Amino acid sequence: MAQAPPARSERTIAHMDMDCFFVSVERKKDPKLNGLPVIVGGPSNRRGVVASCSYEARAKGVHSAMPTAQAFALCPEAVLISGNFGAYSEYSEQVKQIVSEAVPVLEFASIDEFYLDLTGMDRFFGCWQFATELRAKIMRETGLPITLGMANTKTVAKITTGTAKPCGERMVEPGQEVAFLAPLPVQQIPGVGPQSTIELNKLGLKLIGDIQQADVDHLERVLGISGRILWLKAHAADIGAVHTHYERKSISAEETFMADTNDTKALEALITAMVEKLAYQLRTSERLTACVTVKVRYSNFDTHEQQQRIAYTAQDGELMETAKAIFRKMLHKNRPVRLLGVGFSQLVPGGIQLNLFDDAEEKSKLLQATDAIRHLHGANAIGRAATLQASGHRKGTRLAGTVSSS
Ligand SMILES: [Mg+2]
């Protein structure tokens, strides 16, 4: 009997892949190659292999990693180019530049392919509109074709890209992932190579839908842990985050009260003050956070910490709301508090994305103005009225902002 399917991922992942990247770069340098079957690869007289080939060559059965001699047997009229990896990396860098200016969470999976995690952005922006506009920008600025796939996991997004190639864009609507995957052959799952395909077919698993229907424990018995992973992938479950190349850091502030307090209003005001300082620190270091942590230590040293994942931001308003919401949820009202702390983690570079991630441009302008005043007069020069209330409760206390790797 088949198990209940795992919960589908609720992330928004875009995957983009340059179309026959090396060939496209060669065609840009020499437009006469347009429309011709082109192979970039090693010489056919020795053990050269195809690194990239145009769709005209693919139509004849040529594919990458095939020995060049075999490719010429299939497509004798092909134009062979030995390749210029310097130029390819230059274009790759150019794409990386364009993308990282627009999105903080991205992972380059290879020289011509990357993933973006746009989760949470739909609150401010249409994710699909954002992704298609970014794709258009890449094509406009590099002059190279690229295909976009969007879905709820990396695996499904990459498969979607595959079905939209060449030079296309496609989105799988939320909730439609399992139905979208079902009729596709198993080898469409990234990582399922020719050998695995044979093995899966032998087990009667030809389509991704067959994997969806299979008993997961049976799959694991026969294929090991990769059997379970395949089953999860086939159900569009959330495995495999988008890994940024950036070093992750966290910043935090905490404050110990000389006299413990259970004055909720004052505690909240202190949270506001700490968030303000930390958010300012975020913006001046041009970073965004995706995780807010609140720490409460009661008079008996009993310490609690809770965190919440949020959409990337460096805006005071959203961070304060989040921190206060966490605080209200976790606070035991009648117990006196000894220490209060706030932390931001999962930091990524992205100061210039402020407007992108916030709907209220006005709010952003206000922040820019207050930040400018802080620059001129020091970090304590300006603050919201609410934060002033907190100061009365701080008797010889410390406010330590620490920046540490996490
Ligand atoms: Mg590619």
Residue 139 has pLDDT above 70, yes or no: yes
Encoded amino acid at 140, one letter: R
The protein residues having their C-beta less than 5 angstroms from ligand 1 (an ion) are: 17-18, 21, 112
Distance (angstroms) between ligand 1 centre and the Cα of 162 equals: 10
Residue 399 has pLDDT above 50, yes or no: no
pLDDT at 217: 92
Q: Does 118 or 249 have the greater pLDDT score? A: 118
Residue 403 has pLDDT above 60, yes or no: no
Q: Which two tokens stand for residue 345?
A: 């983690």
Which residue reads 């701080």 in tokens?
394
Distance (angstroms) between ligand 1 centre and the Cα of 186 equals: 20
Q: Which two tokens stand for residue 174?
A: 């939320």
DSSP-assigned letter for residue 3: P
Distance (angstroms) between ligand 1 centre and the Cα of 296 equals: 49
In terms of average pLDDT, the best of 42-46, 60-64, 208-212 is 208-212
d(CA 142, CA 279): 35
Count of positions (residues) in the chain: 406
Of 157, 185, 138, nearest to 18 by C-alpha is: 138
In degrees, rounded to 5, the angle at the alpha carbon of residue 392 between the alpha carbons of residues 391 and 397 is 65
Distance (angstroms) between ligand 1 centre and the Cα of 29 equals: 18
Confidence of residue 174 (pLDDT cuts 50, 70, 90): very high
Q: Which two tokens stand for residue 386?
A: 């609410």
d(CA 151, CA 238): 11
**pTM for the complete prediction?**
0.61
Give the DSSP letter string of 197-250. Answer: HHHHHHTT--BHHHHHHS-HHHHHHHHTHHHHHHHHHHTTB---PPPPSSPPEE
Least confident of 59-63, 203-207, 227-231, 363-367: 363-367
Of 311, 291, 288, 314, nearest to 368 by C-alpha is: 314
End-to-end CA distance of the chain: 43
d(CA 358, CA 288): 12
Residue 391 has pLDDT above 50, yes or no: no
Annotation says 113 is catalytic:
yes
Distance (angstroms) between ligand 1 centre and the Cα of 205 equals: 27
Mean pLDDT of 164-175: 95
d(CA 98, CA 37): 30
Residues near 196 by beta carbon (within 8 Å), at least 6 away in sequence? 186, 187
Of 362, 357, 386, nearest to 283 by C-alpha is: 357
Distance (angstroms) between ligand 1 centre and the Cα of 196 equals: 22
**Residue in 107, 113, 268, 318 annotated catalytic:** 113
Distance (angstroms) between ligand 1 centre and the Cα of 283 equals: 35
Tens of pLDDT, residue by residue over 20-41, are 999 999 999 999 999 999 999 8
Distance (angstroms) between ligand 1 centre and the Cα of 61 equals: 17
Give the DSSP letter string of 331-379. Answer: --TTSPEEEEEEEEES-EE-GGGHHHH-S-HHHHHHHHHHHHHHHHH-T
Residue 108's SS3 state is: strand
Tens of pLDDT, residue by residue over 332-348, are 888 999 999 999 988 77
Cβ(327)–Cβ(305) under 8 Å? Answer: no
